[in-house]
Amino acid sequence: MYSVRDRLPTGPAQDEHCCGERFAVRGWCCDDPAAKFGDVDVSERTYLYLLRHGATDANQRRPYVLQGQGTDGPLSQAGRTQARRAAEALAHLPIHTVFASPLKRSRETAAIVAEPHGAQVRVVPEITEVDVGEWEAMSWNAVMERYPEQYRRFMSDPAVFPYAGGESYADVARRVVPALEAILREHDGHVAVVGHNVVNRVFLAHLLGVELRRARTLRQSNCGINVIRRKGDEIELITLNGVLHLESE
């Protein structure tokens, strides 16, 4: 059973995989200055802290370029700083395991987050980033020029229409949702997962009951933190893309 707090549209947002409105979860918004993602009751059964990895050079390029599973670069200096700030923000919590995808940007972030806890880092292949196929490392403007019809179809419904030569959001959901639900079921206490932009959005859309085609409207900042709680069979999203720890960037 999923128990989700009130969903509110909060205005436009843009990034390398995103266009359109954002969502808040009862006041928890990607840029809500009142957000306190670390304000949790540690007596509860399971808390999963779902992060997006720290920034890479590709994330910092302008115009934005797509970075899927075909790009495996390390964190940039800014990305390492973001990861350290996320680690500091979570340091007071009894996190015993940090899960990462096989990609360097996820594994490096996970190692930094795990260090204050002496926690184990475990790689989960199913949470690797979306395969963007032929659009890897391309800007959206370049995609529109070279793949106009495929771009139009993808933007109309990415759950059905894939990145050219890559995955659709439904493809991502088929591997990501079971993997993250298994972590929630099988690991009591406090765990962290370092995922990716589309990976996180697809899972959060699943929790929120948002249509999969609209998952791209759920913004995920580099090293933003989502807090998910499981108590018995109930899974609840507590915080969506908490970023207070990154505000001094």
Q: Give 243's DSSP letter.
A: -
Helix axes 104-114, 77-90, angle to 10 degrees: 40
Compute and round to an integer the Cα radius of gyration of the chain.
17
d(CA 42, CA 22): 29
- Angle at which helix 169-186 crosses helix 197-208, to 10 degrees, equals 70
Residues 87 and 114: their CA atoms lie apart, in Å, by 7
CA distance 30 to 164: 29
**196 a catalytic residue:** no
Identify the active-site residue in 17, 108, 129, 245. Answer: 129
Q: Which of 53, 190, 206, 245 is catalytic?
A: 53
Q: Of the candidates 223, 224, 221, 200, which has an alpha carbon nearest to the alpha carbon of residue 210?
A: 200
Looking at the chain, how many residues does it have?
Answer: 249
Q: Which residues contact 7 (CB under 8 A, 6 or more apart)?
A: 23, 24, 25, 208, 210
Residue 53 a catalytic site member: yes
- Catalytic residue numbers read 53, 129
